[in-house]
């Protein structure tokens, strides 16, 4: 077992429930090789952390940029919660060396690792929220994520990812918000492949594929922008 006290020390956070911290780093693949491990995987914590992260990010933007319109803040928020940025933050704060993975996943250093790091960051937020409460979680996110990334996102206009851009254009030209639907999901849990459709009302505009739902949604949005010539 990895020494999570080192992570607590580097973050300056001491968990009351150490199991919550460890569970945040437990990937499903680890349990496939360690079926008797006393904790379950981190996916429920990821589900919670995703919502907490979005709320805190939204609150920060709302309070700190009172003159910015909704559409612009939506783009900033989308960039702050996308997998690329989250995986970079996750790696920067040292999460990579504490991941509990199968031997196969341990060897994977490419795109799959990026999404594992992103998911782990969200799971950690979920565990931190349950263990330490809202204010501590808010401080961690602002200090280690928002303040580290927002300036670059705004300066380099990184917030114009295909999904947020397609939403802006659809709302501008059609007056509705696009929706995404998983059309196909194949493969074992640790190497899933998703096919996602993006819809305007009931019309499917385009499809996208990827190793995560988010990646497939981004490709679908990018394809839709090209099809609509937006």
Task: Judge whether 46 and 95 are in contact, CB under 8 Å.
Answer: no
- The Cα 157–Cα 145 span in angstroms is 17
Residue 166 and residue 160: Cα distance in Å, rounded? Answer: 9
Rg of the chain over Cα atoms, rounded to whole angstroms, equals 18
Q: Please say if 50 is a catalytic residue.
A: yes
Confirm whether 119 is a catalytic residue: no
Three-state DSSP at 203 gives: strand
Q: Out of 105, 119, 122, 215, which one is annotated catalytic? A: 122
Q: Which of 46, 50, 131, 215 is catalytic?
A: 50
Please answer whether residues 209 and 197 qualify as being in contact, where contact means their C-beta atoms are separated by less than 8 angstroms. Answer: no
Residue 100 · residue 27 · CB < 8 Å: yes
DSSP 97: G
Sequence-distant (≥ 6) Cβ neighbours of residue 118 within 8 angstroms: 83, 84, 86, 87, 90
Residues annotated as catalytic are 50, 122
């Amino acid at each position: 077992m990895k020494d999570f006290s080192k992570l607590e020390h580097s973050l300056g956070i001491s968990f009351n429930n150490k199991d919550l911290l460890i569970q945040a780093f437990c990937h499903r693949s680890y349990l496939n090789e360690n079926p008797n491990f006393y904790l379950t995987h981190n996916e429920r914590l990821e589900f919670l952390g995703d919502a907490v992260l979005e709320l805190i990010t939204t609150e920060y933007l709302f309070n700190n940029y009172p003159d910015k319109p909704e559409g612009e803040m939506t783009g900033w928020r989308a960039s702050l919660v996308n997998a690329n940025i989250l995986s970079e933050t996750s790696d920067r704060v040292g999460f990579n060396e504490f991941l509990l993975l199968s031997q196969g996943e341990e060897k994977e250093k490419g795109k799959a690792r990026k999404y594992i790091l992103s998911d782990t960051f969200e799971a950690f937020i979920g565990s931190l929220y349950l263990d330490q409460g809202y204010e501590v979680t808010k401080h961690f996110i602002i200090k280690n994520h928002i303040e580290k990334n927002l300036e670059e996102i705004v300066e380099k206009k990184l917030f114009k990812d295909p999904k947020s851009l397609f939403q802006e254009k659809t709302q501008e030209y059609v007056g509705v918000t696009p929706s995404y639907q998983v059309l196909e999901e194949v493969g074992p849990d640790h190497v899933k492949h998703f096919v996602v459709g993006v819809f305007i009302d009931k019309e499917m505009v385009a499809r996208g594929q990827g190793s995560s739902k988010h990646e497939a949604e981004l490709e679908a949005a990018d394809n839709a922008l090209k099809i609509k010539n937006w």
